[in-house]
Chains A and B, each alone.
Chain A
């Protein structure tokens, strides 16, 4: 919960000594409230004041980093329950589970496939985030060997899964220092030893609710909170919580409750990102995708899949991108004229908006058609064709202005401009705005652009 400047001021020495670099303690307090200064700049703060302010300045949901280097995964730090309230900030990690009890060659081949998997969507490279290596049913030494073999193939973040502290210790020994996998999990009796291992190797620690079956009911969250307090009082800072719920309904309830407790009640013991295992609550690989989608939308920090397929990965990465797009800032491209395949004065001129999804979809189709074309991207302030039109950001006036300011008349011998089929209704108005031009109504859907362009003629 953020404190105001005045609330912070109460804890400061009120000596106005200026050692912090600010003229008064109140000025320093105001700066702290805006997160423009560090409390450590005050040399005279009491221990009591420091503790109070530290805990108050901690974000309500702890940021947790799994792995290291370019592929490291940071989750947590969320500030809202609904994306329209502000935005969701840290996309959940989507990982694939490998079982040490599976044939090693198959598992390692899967590592290669997942590592290579990368898909571009609206100008962004989307990928999965790593592997959960599950030691269930494997002896400590075998688990450690398996982890080492996986690590040899990937720089991606890892989750090490074992209830046996001896196996976890053996596996952690096999990893290079600073690999910081997520240790899964501190649960009931093994919690103190798991906490020690996490501290020793400086790893984040997952805490799993005591009732293994989990039902999302009140009791299990209280027990989970108690267990979290046990490991944090032992010194662990970065925690990931697993409420133990596995089904569609119980996990939705549990994850919602955890998010709300952290944000609305500033309830420290559950102020951590969550981890989910949709494969454990689903009765088919298809259903696993739907449950994983639920977890992406509703509050999971790390989603561990039991099955990898390219179509499911594409779909979940797309959903994650959708849900985590900042609602205040639609992804936009720069307005202007984009030549496709070296167009000439006889090439078609198509108009679209600068909403990134619209742009990339249309551009993909124009490129795919093989027909050299001019794509004129109008500044619709990041709105799509229909919403832009409804909001007056993609109307005849705006389009005419773009045609003129980009000097399309000088670039073309013909005088034809193709508008999206969805805004066919503005064609008359646009002809009024652009004397001498003929307005053609193109397809409603981008998928039909290729066929349209192949038929198009300047004459």
Chain B
């Protein structure tokens, strides 16, 4: 008997399968793993992890220079930007409705709906939609978006323990997927999944965001909590078995390493290459911990990570 047969670890549970898109749009399914990431010698990994690309509805003037250079004028218009992102390899678009933030343009839910429709018309990949990150306005904006896009299979973010009911109800009523975000903690993640499922949203309509730490900035906490969640899922804990989504681009590109080229040690090397690799390595390391959806920003980092996924999937 070959020696490795003795360490095959048969899973008793598997990760839920979540499908985004639909209604004539391209669909993307994630999850379904019955083994630890890429260990196909002991169980199936039916779907490859996907890369969703960040697009904002207003020009992201505070983004790192390397990123703004990469997207150029495309970043002035969300629909144009989304098309460019698909060309760069986006399996999905992660649209942030930043202009609806009360401290920015405080744009109305109606204008947010318009933006979402424009992006849906511009590309046929699935759409993830994030509110401005302020609970009350998130609810207002995401409900309007959810109602106006019934059946388009969006993922709506984010639900947190203090604010999930409205977004879950809107997802439930309109065939969307909810993103459940918790702060790097297995029990909190599990608890929020249960609360959301209690409202009637089935497990195959939930993505969980365990909160991402970038390389050098808490990556190891995210890495370990994701490994624990995935191990629990494979051991049959269905409340830990939702596919995981990681906001890699946002976290990696707000660190000094990705933003600052002057007044830093020469040992940090070239700024642009450092930023791209910082994002790509954060992403590829989280793939090893079980990430199913990576939300990313730089075209070269996206290409690198997609290449690594191709090779990992064989």
* A positions within 8 Å CB-CB of B: 82-84, 117-121, 216, 218-219, 221-222, 225, 247-249, 252-253, 256-257, 260-261, 264-265, 267, 270, 283, 286-287, 289-291, 293-294, 297-298, 309-315, 318-319, 321-323, 325, 327, 357, 361, 368, 384, 386-387, 390, 445-447
Chain B: how many interface residues by the 8 Å CB criterion?
59
Which stretch, B142-150, B201-209, B222-230, B235-243, touches the partner chain A?
B222-230
A287 touches B263 (CB 8 A): no
Bound: A289/B307 CA distance, A = 13
The residue on A at minimum CB distance from B6 is: A265
B220 touches A (CB below 8 Å): yes
B184 touches A (CB below 8 Å): yes
Which stretch, B53-61, B108-116, B252-260, touches the partner chain A?
B252-260
Bound: A315/B4 CA distance, A = 33
B307 touches A287 (CB 8 A): yes
B277 touches A357 (CB 8 A): no
Minimum distance in angstroms from B257 CB to a CB of chain A: 8
Bound: A386/B228 CA distance, A = 21
Minimum distance in angstroms from A137 CB to a CB of chain B: 28
B3 touches A119 (CB 8 A): no
B259 touches A447 (CB 8 A): yes
Write 12 A-B pairs (CB below 8 A) sorted by A numbering. A82-B231, A247-B311, A257-B4, A260-B9, A261-B3, A261-B7, A287-B304, A293-B285, A311-B273, A313-B267, A315-B215, A319-B215
Given A309-B273, A312-B269, verify A319-B3 contact (CB < 8 Å).
no
B246 touches A (CB below 8 Å): no
The residue on A at minimum CB distance from B220 is: A322
A318 touches B216 (CB 8 A): yes
Q: Which of B1-57 contact A (CB under 8 A)?
A: 2-7, 9, 36, 38-41
B105 touches A (CB below 8 Å): no
B183 touches A294 (CB 8 A): no
A357 touches B304 (CB 8 A): no
A310 touches B268 (CB 8 A): yes
A82 touches B224 (CB 8 A): yes
Minimum distance in angstroms from B216 CB to a CB of chain A: 4
A117 touches B267 (CB 8 A): yes
* Partner among B5, B40, B304 whose Cβ is within 8 Å of the Cβ of A286: B304
The residue on A at minimum CB distance from B211 is: A386
A83 touches B224 (CB 8 A): yes
A315 touches B278 (CB 8 A): yes
Bound: A323/B218 CA distance, A = 10
Bound: A267/B7 CA distance, A = 11
B137 touches A (CB below 8 Å): no
B308 touches A (CB below 8 Å): yes
Those 9 A-B pairs whose CB atoms lie nearest each other, nearest first: A311-B269, A310-B269, A218-B2, A311-B274, A248-B311, A322-B220, A119-B267, A84-B224, A260-B7
Enumerate chain A residues within 8 angstroms of B313, measured Cβ to Cβ: 249
Given A83-B220, A286-B277, A319-B219, verify A447-B269 contact (CB < 8 Å).
no
A315 touches B217 (CB 8 A): no
| Proximity bits, B299-314, A CB within 8 Å = 1, else 0 | 0100011011001111
B269 touches A248 (CB 8 A): no
Given A84-B228, A261-B4, A286-B277, verify A249-B312 contact (CB < 8 Å).
yes
Minimum distance in angstroms from B201 CB to a CB of chain A: 25
B174 touches A (CB below 8 Å): no
Bound: A247/B314 CA distance, A = 9
The residue on A at minimum CB distance from B219 is: A322
Enumerate chain A residues within 8 angstroms of B280, measured Cβ to Cβ: 286, 289-290
* Partner among A82, A257, A315, A445 whose Cβ is within 8 Å of the Cβ of B254: A445
Bound: A118/B267 CA distance, A = 7
Enumerate chain A residues within 8 angstroms of B255, measured Cβ to Cβ: 447
Enumerate chain B residues within 8 angstroms of A118, measured Cβ to Cβ: 267
Bound: A445/B217 CA distance, A = 12
Bound: A43/B227 CA distance, A = 47
B270 touches A (CB below 8 Å): yes
A294 touches B288 (CB 8 A): yes
B80 touches A (CB below 8 Å): no
Bound: A274/B292 CA distance, A = 28
* Partner among B38, B269, B304 whose Cβ is within 8 Å of the Cβ of A309: B269
B269 touches A294 (CB 8 A): no
Enumerate chain B residues within 8 angstroms of A327, measured Cβ to Cβ: 220, 224
Bound: A349/B163 CA distance, A = 34
Given A249-B38, A286-B280, A315-B277, verify A297-B285 contact (CB < 8 Å).
yes
The residue on B at minimum CB distance from A318 is: B216
Minimum distance in angstroms from B250 CB to a CB of chain A: 12
Minimum distance in angstroms from B267 CB to a CB of chain A: 4
Enumerate chain B residues within 8 angstroms of A261, measured Cβ to Cβ: 3-4, 6-7
The residue on A at minimum CB distance from B256 is: A447
B72 touches A (CB below 8 Å): no
B304 touches A218 (CB 8 A): no
Given A261-B4, A322-B219, verify A252-B281 contact (CB < 8 Å).
no
B266 touches A (CB below 8 Å): yes
